[in-house]
Amino acid sequence: MVSVNAAVIYYSSTGNVHALARAVVEGAEKAGAQVRLRKVAETAPPEAIGARPEWAQHLKDTADVGVAGHEDLEWADVVLFGTPTRFGSPASQLRAFIDTTGPLWFQGKLADKVYSAFTVSNTAHGGQESTLLALGNTFHHWGGIIVPPGYTDPVQFQSGNPYGTSHVAGGNTPPGEVALQAARHQARRAVETAAALKAGRTA
């Protein structure tokens, strides 16, 4: 298989999206990709973070994770974005990063890459699908190739979300094995698709 670069770019406040992102990294690496795990910059005020001990703790626990930059998007053949659901939309921290990518888009540097997304909400029916579809709007504007997990693996019939891996974290419950398996599968599918496209272009 041709060499594929995969960027996993996410925002996580208390660690649940981070846990999915780690599973995505595992799936991408198993599929043979070179992987960069990157978090987007935190923009919430210190008083908001300090009001939730688990939020402050997660910031400390992930201090070694690099912050996403434009160079990560340029480098990647496939990009998987992770975000909590915020009122049915991606978190503002991730949107803030995406909103800086205009210069790359203008130069066509975001086109023809594979994109996929995963999310976490606090409640069932809490906006997971609309969040993933909202990210899809961005991928359309970039000229990206959207690769969802669909129902392409038995785990998808357990997880139940063909748009992207999702988890209900009510009470800050971490993702279980079904969600983690779904994340690994989604990453493998995205990487394998990117590899096939890359091989076809160079043939």
Model confidence at 1: pLDDT above 80: no
What residue has token string 């990560």? Answer: 72
- pLDDT tens digit string along 123-140? 999 999 999 999 999 999
pLDDT score at 2: 85
Lowest mean pLDDT among 17-21, 38-42, 53-57: 53-57
Is 77's pLDDT higher than 90? yes
**Model confidence pTM above 0.85:** yes
- Please give the average per-residue pLDDT across 39-64, as a whole number: 93
Single-letter residue type at 35 = V
pLDDT for residue 72 is more than 90: yes
Instruction: Assign domain 5-202 to its CATH architecture.
Output: 3-Layer(aba) Sandwich (3.40)
* 176 φ/ψ angles, rounded to the nearest 5 degrees: -90, -175
Categorize the per-residue pLDDT at 3 as very low, low, confident or very high, splitting at 50, 70 and 90.
very high
Q: Which residue has the tokens 């910059």?
A: 41
Structural domain spans, the chain: 5-202
Alpha-carbon distance values, 160 to 182, 191, 202 (Å): 10, 21, 36
3-class SS at 89?
Answer: strand
User: Nearest 10 degrees: CA dihedral of 21, 200, 110, 44?
Assistant: 0
List the Cα angle 101/25/22 in 5-degree steps: 100
